[in-house]
Amino acid sequence: MLPPIFTWLKASNAVKAIIGTTPRAFRHGDAPQDTTKPYVTWNLITGVPDNVLNTVPPSDRYTVQVDCWHQTDKGVEDLATAVRNAIEPYAHMTGMPVNEREKETKLYRIALQFDVLQSR
């Protein structure tokens, strides 16, 4: 029902080289407080059925935001590149809505937005 973001990230050697072989990737846009850095969070922004008139929808369309978190500027850029390369074979990247250093944690963050068309 939801896009398999974790599966796509786990299949990428480049992503695993940065965030571990059991990738530190968390849904709902939030990671546990004591999570080892770097890591990735992702969030479902919107999801709609691909409605047709004569039958149940054959697919669903999702917009997903994947946030990359790292202690260094270069590190977050490398992680975002690896994440983009891991997901783009399955989804269209449509934007990069966030590129910042969070004031409270001092972590660098790049957010990537993807549109996914998933067959049912």
Per-residue pLDDT of the chain (120 residues; tens, 9 = 90+): 799 999 999 999 999 999 999 999 999 999 999 999 999 999 999 999 999 999 999 999 999 999 999 999 999 999 999 999 999 999 999 999 999 999 999 999 999 999 999 999
Q: Are the C-beta atoms of 84 and 18 separated by less than 8 Å?
A: no
Q: Are 71 and 93 in contact (CB under 8 A)?
A: no
Single pTM value for the model = 0.93
pLDDT at 57: 94
If we measure between CA atoms, which residue out of 32, 43, 42 comes closest to residue 83? 42
Domain spans in the chain, listed from the N-terminal domain onward: 5-119
Collapsed DSSP state (helix, strand, coil) of residue 12: coil
β-sheet bridge partners, residue 65: 43, 113
Long-range contacts, stretch 43-48, CB < 8 angstroms, 24+ apart: 43/67, 44/2, 44/3, 45/113, 47/2
Q: What is the pLDDT of residue 1?
A: 78
CATH of span 5-119: 3.30.70.1700
Distance of alpha carbon 90 from alpha carbon 74, whole angstroms: 26
